[in-house]
Amino acid sequence: MHGSVKFGALLAVILITATGLLYYFSPSRMEAAAEGKGVITGVVKDENGAPLRGVNVVCEESSVTTNDKGEFSFEGLREGRYLIKAYKQGYMIGVKDVEVEKDGKASVEIFMKKIKRRIIVATDGTGDYNCDGVNDEYEINAAIESLSMIGGGTVHLKEGRYTIDGPVVLAHNIIFEGEGQDRTYIKLKDWNNREYWGLFVLNKVSNVTVRDFTLDGNKHKGFRRE
């Protein structure tokens, strides 16, 4: 995608299939899963490594607050991957993807930076949020949500390839931009067996600009065969 696209108020999910067709549907809530015996423990720190107390840490439908040492924990988790998000006024949202084995324990360290109006997302380790090519929508959405809490701003994706396996959720007064159609690519994950891909979610948002990147489709919507 290149040039600029501006959106007014809109309630929809834009979807793209492996064949490039667009569909729209209203978002639905996910059902809660059965409780397990897994545990996630962690610590939240500022960008200088000092522990942050009073941070609201969210894991699915549960939330806890960090203690004086910046520590938190979640118990009763089933086997699987979890997205951990940390919220504190004046800071960008902290985000971490963690896997819990059956009845196992996992630990995580989350660093939070001071909020600003222009947030950099990168694949080379130089951004405010840094993507690793797996579920990069987590970091991208955290950047957008952080700006939405202060009324808007710019999410700038540096040169690179960003692989998403879920929708990018836009918000009011957001400029969502890359560094050019031949430099910044948003790649839909290959070899996924879901029929539809989430691209952008716009829930009654206004004053949104999307520009200067290329959207790269997935290779095949079916199961991968070796």
d(CA 74, CA 39): 6
More confident residue, 20 or 109: 109
- Domain at 36-114, CATH homologous superfamily: Carboxypeptidase-like, regulatory domain (2.60.40.1120)
Written as six digits, the tokens of 63 are 């939330």
Instruction: Give 107's contacts (C-beta < 8 A, 6+ positions apart).
Output: 40, 41, 42
CA pair distance 42, 57, nearest whole angstrom: 10
Question: Structure tokens of 216?
Answer: 């790269």
Q: Which residues pair with 156 in a beta bridge?
A: 120, 177
Query: What is the longest distance spanned by two Cα atoms in the chain?
Result: 52
Quote the CA–CA distance of 94 and 170 in Å, as a whole number: 18
Residue 202 binned pLDDT confidence (cut-offs 50, 70, 90): confident
Whole-angstrom distance, CA of residue 226 vs CA of residue 36: 34
Query: How is residue 51 annotated by DSSP?
Result: B
Nearest residue to 44 (alpha-carbon basis) of 100, 94, 7: 94
CA dist 87 and 99 (Å) reads 21
Nearest partner of 44 among 90, 77, 99, 84, judged by Cα = 84
Q: Rounded distance, CA 100 to CA 82, Å?
A: 8
In the prediction, which pLDDT does 189 show? 84
Task: Say if CB 45 and CB 109 are below 8 A apart.
Answer: yes
The predicted-structure confidence for 51-100, as pLDDT tens digits, reads as follows: 999 999 999 999 999 999 999 999 999 999 999 999 999 999 999 999 99
- Domain edges within the chain: 36-114, 115-219
Q: Render pLDDT for 106-158 as a digit per residue (tens, 0 to 9).
A: 999 999 999 999 999 999 999 999 999 999 999 999 999 999 999 999 999 99
Q: Assess whether pLDDT exceeds 80 at residue 198.
A: no
The predicted pLDDT at position 201 comes to 82
- 225: buried, middle or exposed (CB in 10 Å: 19+, 13-18, 0-12)? exposed
Long-range contacts (CB closer than 8 Å, 24 or more residues apart) made by 174-178 = 174/144, 174/147, 174/148, 174/205, 174/207, 174/208, 174/209, 175/208, 175/209, 175/211, 176/144, 176/208, 176/209, 176/210, 176/211, 177/209, 177/210, 177/211, 177/212, 177/213, 178/211, 178/212, 178/213, 178/214
